[in-house]
Structure 1
C-alpha cells in the first residue's frame, strides 16, 4: 500500500496542500481532481522524489510504501510521468538511450503502447509531444515500479490513442498490482478509469471522495 500522511506543500509563502493524506492499494487507480494552479504537478514531483517537500510539513508527515519510507537513492518504485514529457529525457541523448537506462521492453510491449521502434533512435526534439508522452509512459512502467503517478499523461493525444493507452495502463494495474494516482481535468476520464476520485475546491479544501466501479 502507498500512503501519504499529513503532507503539506508550499510554493514560496503560498500554501499548496495542507495536511494531505491518501492511500492507494495495490492495483487501485485513484484520481485527484483540483483546479488549475492548485499544485498537482508539484505534488506529483514530491511524491516521486523529484524534489523535496519544502515548507513546514507537520511532524507526522510521511510518504510510505508498505509502511516503509521511500528510498532517497537508487531506483524509486514510485514513478512520475509529467504533464510535459520532455522533462523525462536528456535532450542530448536518444529517447531509446533514456529508456534503456531504466529497462528494455521488447517489441511487443512497444507495440502495445503504440511506439514505433525508429523513434528510439531520435532525440527528444525530433519527436512530437504525443510521441514523447508514450515513451515517457513506458519508461516509467519499469517492472520494478509499484506506483505510477500520471499527470495529464494523455492530454496531448487524440481520443483513439488515449483509449488504447488507458486500456493498457488498466491492464498493468490489474495484472501486476500497479497502483496509480491520476491527475486530470477530464472528469469523464477519471470516472472511467479510476476506482476512487478525491476532489478539491478552489481553497484547497477536500470536497468529497467518489467511488466508482471502474472497468
Structure 2
C-alpha cells in the first residue's frame, strides 16, 4: 500500500498542497484533478521521491520513500524529454531499466527503430511512449502518470490506457494519474481526488 499522510508542499515561497492525505491500494487507479498551475507536476515529483516536501510522510508498505536501489514508484513526467539523457539513445535508457520484447513494444505503439535514436530525433509523443514503457519495469509497483498521453492522438491514447488497465488487473500495478481531462479520469480511474479551487 502507498500511503500519503498530511503532506504539505511549498515551492518558491508558495503553498501548493496542504495536509494532503490518501492511500493507493495494489491495482487501484487514482485520478488527481486540479486546475493548471495548481502544482500537479510538483506533487508527482514529490510522490516519486524526486523532490523534497515540507511536511508529512510518504510510504510504500510502511517504508519511507525514497528507497535505496531501484524505486518501485516510477514517474512518467509531463515533459518526457526531461527523463532522457540527450547524449544517449532512447534504447540505452530503456534497457538500463529492463528489456521489453517486440510484443511489449507493439502494445505501446513503439517502433524498434526509435530505440536507435537520441531524444531530440523523436517527437514528444514518441518519447512519452518510451518513457512510459521504461517505467513499466516488472519491479514497478506504482506508476505516476503526469499527462502521459496528452501528446498522443485519441486512438493511440485509448489503446495505451487499455494496456495500462490490463497491467493493473494482471500484475496489481497501481496508478496515480494526473490529467486536465476530467472525462478521461472519470473513465479510467477507480477513484478521483479533486483539488479544491
Give the TM-score normalised by the residue count of structure 1.
Answer: 0.90
Residue number among 149, 171, 175 corresponding to 1:176 in the alignment: 171
Q: Give 1:211's aligned residue.
A: none
After TM superposition, where is structure 1 displaced by more than 6 Å over at least 4 residues in a row? none
Q: Which consecutive residues of structure 1, in runs of 5 or more, have no partner in the other structure?
A: 203-215
1:47 CA displacement: 0.8
Counterpart in the other structure of 1:149: 144
The equivalent of 1:42 in structure 2 is 42
Residue 33 of structure 1 corresponds to 33
TM-score when normalising by structure 2: 0.98
SS of structure 1 residue aligned to 2:97: coil
Structure-2 residue corresponding to 1:166: 161
Secondary structure, in 3 states, of the residue corresponding to 1:101? helix
Counterpart pick for 1:95 among 90, 93, 99: 90
Whether 1:86 and 2:105 are equivalent positions in the alignment is no
Q: Match of 1:5? A: 5
CA distance in 2, matches of 1:52, 1:45: 9
In structure 2, the residue matched to 1:190 is 185
**8 Å Cα contact 1:35/1:201 also seen in 2:** no
Instruction: Tell me, yes or no, if structure 1 residue 77 matches structure 2 residue 81.
Output: no
The answer on 1:124 being equivalent to 2:123 is no
> Is the Cα contact below 8 Å between 2:27 and 2:172 reproduced in 1?
yes
Q: CA deviation at 1:51?
A: 1.6
3-state DSSP class of the match of 1:5? strand
Spell out, residue by residue over 1:42-71, the C-alpha distance to the aligned partner (whole angstroms, 9 max, x if none): 010111111212xx31xxx21111122124
- How big is the shift at 1:138? 0.2
Residue 205 of structure 1: aligned partner: none
Matched residue pairs, number? 197
**Is 2:16–2:38's contact at 8 Å kept on the other side of the alignment?**
yes
**Partners of 2:181 and 2:44 in 1: how far apart?**
18
Note the C-alpha offset of 1:12.
Answer: 1.9
